[in-house]
Amino acid sequence: MVTLALFRAYRRFVLVLYQFFPLIVGYLRDRHRFILFGPGRRVTPERRRKRAQRLLDALLTLGPTFIKLGQLLSSRPDVLPPEYIDVLSQLQDRVPPAPWPGAKHVIEQELGPVDEQFDDFDTEAISGASLGQVYKAVVDDEPVAVKVRRPRIESLVEADLRVIRWLLPVVIYFVGETRSFSLRNLADEFAETIRQEMDYEREAEMLEEIRANFEGADGIRIPRLIHSHSTRRVMTMEFVDGVKITDVDELDTMGVDRSKLAYNLEWFYFQMIVGDGVFHADPHPGNLAVQSDGTIVFYDFGMSGRVDPYIQDRIIEFYIGIVNQDIDGILDALTAMGTLSPDADRDTMGQIMELAIQDFRGEEIETYRVQQIVQQVEDTIYEFPFRLPRNLALVLRVATVVEGVCVTLDPDFDFVVVATDYLTEQGYREESIREFLDQTRTQVQDAALASLRIPPTLERTLNRAERGNLQVRADIRDSQDIYERLAGRIILGLFLSATVLATAYLYPIDLRAAAIAGLLGVATIGLLYRSFRESRGLRAQPQFTRQALRERRREE
């Protein structure tokens, strides 16, 4: 059995390499025009777009696992350039359903004979996806939707995941440190996500938990699970019909307020991510429907996620920063989440955040400002300090897709308005203002006490200085060994100077001694070069963000 699985993985490996070979050659030629040598090539946006289309075709050819991988890549700007993100975002998880006999075999393995378990069963699938397909049936005179895992999909997915693990070290070898961090997280996240999506028992648990969180809420409906007809490979829910959420013509015919619909959709996702910590993570239009009264119906909870309390708090800080246009607060929240590197250029990042907030609000952005920022980052775009930890990738995917759906519903949709209303109604903004006032009050009290202590202290210090009895002691914290490295370089520089002088002095007297001194000089040059290459300049890591200061105060 193990041998068969390995054989299947090797066969898939060859097929994957065949599909990706043109892209690999193109990427290698970007580094060296003649692959092994020669100057690099400048890659234009148009060339990137053509390659992205070729990548899309390869993913579709390789089948279910790679379709899912493409969907995940489309939400990862820390891994791929914008042109790839734009092209891959067109990739929908819609493929022709498997033949009915294979699906029937899965149902009967899990539940028993179809005719005995269901009053009626339509063998024409109403939707097909890469990992499963959905049929309409009847149970106890109630219409239901039956989701069935594709036959033999498990072995194909496991073989493809093994191929991805084999390819990952090769890909990481050619990318920078920041993107290798993101790629490792992406591979781990993808393996976990696709296995979870094939497990319908987990999907049922997530559906029921999210449904319970919205119990009694207006404007949202989540299908009820039919436990008696649900297993790990088959999931049965009540059938809830509706119009696709992006079918704007039909929505207008029904008289649905599209602006209110967009507002409600964003609000529900705020509640799931910020309020409840468990959320539906696949909000593409095929999984969202609208009923005649404007109620939003959520389908397919196979891709769903959780947000731990620490990240929830940081997301709240991030949104409060956006609402208040507090750029430092936004950057501190991104740093605390691990999304922004601590040694990022805060000035440049601050300018980018200002433009992003303007864009959120639909405000006009000055062209010269965009050009100025592009010039600052275009030469280092692949070393950009953004990275996505695993627990934030799904959140970013949701935010991106939901924003697209909302703008389709309402071209004037303002995300910041929804964020402001939600944070205000839930009391998060008041809490932030209260914390700010408490910090300000403490600072004022400290300043008042200091104003009373300073005059006598200053008088004593001046008296000691006048008597010539003043001593100053300074302790320098050097957590990154910057001064130690500087001292080492100075010593190596002095030694290099000494070897040069010794070589010049000994050359006419003793050629052997001069050669030894010269070799020592060459070795010293090597050590100096290595020192500068390893550190690439001396840069101190920022130690003082708001989050760090708050934690330090709590420790004190």
Does pLDDT of 289 surpass 90?
yes
Residues 234 and 138 in one domain: yes
153-158 long-range contacts (CB < 8 A, ≥24 apart) are: 153/64, 153/198, 154/198, 155/5, 155/8, 156/8, 156/12, 156/63, 156/64, 156/65, 157/64, 157/65, 157/131, 157/194, 157/195, 157/198, 158/5
Fill in the DSSP letter of residue 272. Answer: I
Looking at the 3D structure of the chain, how many domains does it have? 4
The 10s digit of each residue's pLDDT in 372-415 is 444 444 433 344 545 666 667 778 778 878 888 998 999 988 88
Residues 182 and 143 in one domain: no
CATH number assigned to the domain comprising residue 121: 3.30.200.20
Q: Which of 131, 113, 134 is nearest to 123 (CA)?
A: 134
Instruction: Confirm whether 353 is domain-assigned.
Output: yes
As beta bridge partners, residue 243 has: 290
Residues 360 and 500 in one domain: no
Instruction: Confirm whether 471 is domain-assigned.
Output: no
Please write down the HEC assignment for all residues of 49-78.
HHHHHHHHHHHHHHCHHHHHHHHHHCCCCC
Residues 421 and 406 in one domain: yes
pTM, two decimals, is 0.68
Instruction: Confirm whether 555 is domain-assigned.
Output: no
Fill in the DSSP letter of residue 316. Answer: H
Residues 112 and 216 in one domain: yes
Instruction: Confirm whether 327 is domain-assigned.
Output: yes
Residues 113 and 183 in one domain: no
Place of tokens 């059938």: 239
Instruction: Write b or e for each residue in 15-30: b if 16 or more Cβ atoms lie within 10 A of its Cβ, otherwise e.
Output: ebeebbeeeeeeeeee
Residues 179 and 265 in one domain: no
Over residues 171-194, mean pLDDT: 76
Place of tokens 């109620």: 295
Are 339 and 387 in contact, with CB atoms under 8 Å apart?
Answer: yes
Residues 342 and 448 in one domain: yes
Q: How far is CA 478 from CA 210, 301, 537, 544, in A?
A: 49, 50, 16, 15
The 10s digit of each residue's pLDDT in 221-246 is 999 999 999 999 999 999 999 999 99
Residues 529 and 389 in one domain: no
Where among 182, 217, 240 does a domain terminate? 240
Residues 15 and 161 in one domain: yes
Q: Count CA atoms closer than 13 A to 527's CA, side-chain side.
A: 16
Phi then psi for residue 97, to 5 deg, are: -65, 155
Domain that residue 359 falls in: 244-453
Q: Which two tokens stand for residue 552?
A: 């330090």
Distance CA(464)–CA(459), nearest Å, equals 9
Highest mean pLDDT among 23-27, 105-109, 542-546: 105-109
As beta bridge partners, residue 296 has: 220, 290
Residues 169 and 312 in one domain: no
Residues 214 and 319 in one domain: no
The 10s digit of each residue's pLDDT in 458-488 is 556 656 655 566 565 655 555 555 656 666 6
**How would DSSP label each residue in 114-128?**
HHHH-SEE--S-SEE
